[in-house]
Amino acid sequence: MTPQNISYQGSKIKLYLGSTVLLVSMMLSSLVFGTLVLLCSVVFPFSVRYRLACLWVRFVMYIARIFCGVRHEVQGLEHIEGIKAAIVLSKHQSAWETIALRLILPTQTALLKRSLLWLPVWGWALATLKPIAIDRKKRREALKSLVKQGKACLNEGIWVLVFPEGTRTAPGEVKKFNAGGAILAEKSGYPVIPVAHNAGHCWPRYSFLKYPGTITVKIGPVINSKGRKAADINAEAAEWIAQAMLDM
């Protein structure tokens, strides 16, 4: 069932048409860019593959803006100035942030389900972008992979993006934060950046329809992790994100 945005009062034809254009554009362009990334993986370094993937993200954001009226604004960019690498703990409401944060934040990898890498072309291309892919059913192994691969990426200057809620939540819904990202922070000593947003209003979870509006992304102040326990780090990030969501 497609979630409905009850506040939407515009043309249903335009809504469905725009959402269709976006879906088709994403599918076709992912084949094109995914193929290019795979070809580049043979001879070009990670930085080139990453820039190609970001071109796809820019294209998707452009189509979403032109045909669906989905825009975004970012607050708090000053909080990440001069930071070499960090662990991002982000609110998770939709697929939008998994795409858009590639542009908003510095070069990054993300904690994701291993099954995503099995998707034809784009999943294979994603596998060349240094993802931290885990099997959620094997929690102990998943945590070890996150810490080991996360440290390696952070030491290379690659940020690590984690959605501590573990799954997409509806606007207004609050879920307990998993500790994985905070444990990585405790073990590595790298700082945590909390991120809040309200993407679920324009790009609802599990929804074909995309509604016009401006998504607000709030980047929080740095949370220092050196000498701190994961539980404290996680609690501080969760508290900041919860407050930021209330203020939207």
| C-alpha to C-alpha distance for 186 and 229, rounded to whole angstroms | 6
Angle at 137 between CA 241 and CA 162, to 5 degrees: 25
At 75-116, the pLDDT tens digits run 999 999 999 999 999 999 999 999 999 999 999 999 999 999
- What's the CA angle centered on 96, arms 163 and 129, to 5 degrees? 65
Buried/exposed 149-179: b ≥16 CB within 10 Å, e otherwise? bbbebbeeebbbbbbbbeebbebeeeeebbb
Work out the burial of residue 246: count CB atoms within 10 Å of its CB; fewer than 13 is exposed, 13-18 middle, 19 or more buried.
exposed
Regarding pTM above 0.85, the answer is yes
Return the bridge partners of 70, or none.
213
| Residue 120: other Cβ atoms inside 10 A | 10
Identify the pLDDT of residue 248: 85
Q: Are 104 and 58 in contact (CB under 8 A)?
A: no
Beta-carbon contacts of residue 152 (< 8 Å; ≥ 6 apart): none
Q: What is the pLDDT of residue 7?
A: 74
User: What is the distance between the alpha carbons of residues 187 and 168, in angstroms, rounded to a whole number?
Assistant: 26
Q: Which CATH class is domain 70-246?
A: alpha beta
Distance CA 200, CA 210 (A): 10
Specify the pLDDT at position 1: 46
Give, for 204, the enclosing helix (H) or strand (E): none
Model pLDDT for residues 153-205, shown as the tens digit of each residue: 999 999 999 999 999 999 999 899 999 999 999 999 999 999 999 999 999 99
Strand partners, 132: 111
pLDDT at residue number 105: 98
Q: What is the mean pLDDT of the chain?
A: 95
pLDDT tens per residue, range 8-44: 888 999 999 999 999 999 999 999 999 999 999 999 9
Long-range contacts of range 127-135, CB-CB < 8 Å, 24 or more positions apart? 128/37, 128/38, 128/41, 128/46, 128/49, 129/37, 129/46, 129/49, 129/50, 129/53, 130/46, 130/158, 132/160
pLDDT at 6: 59
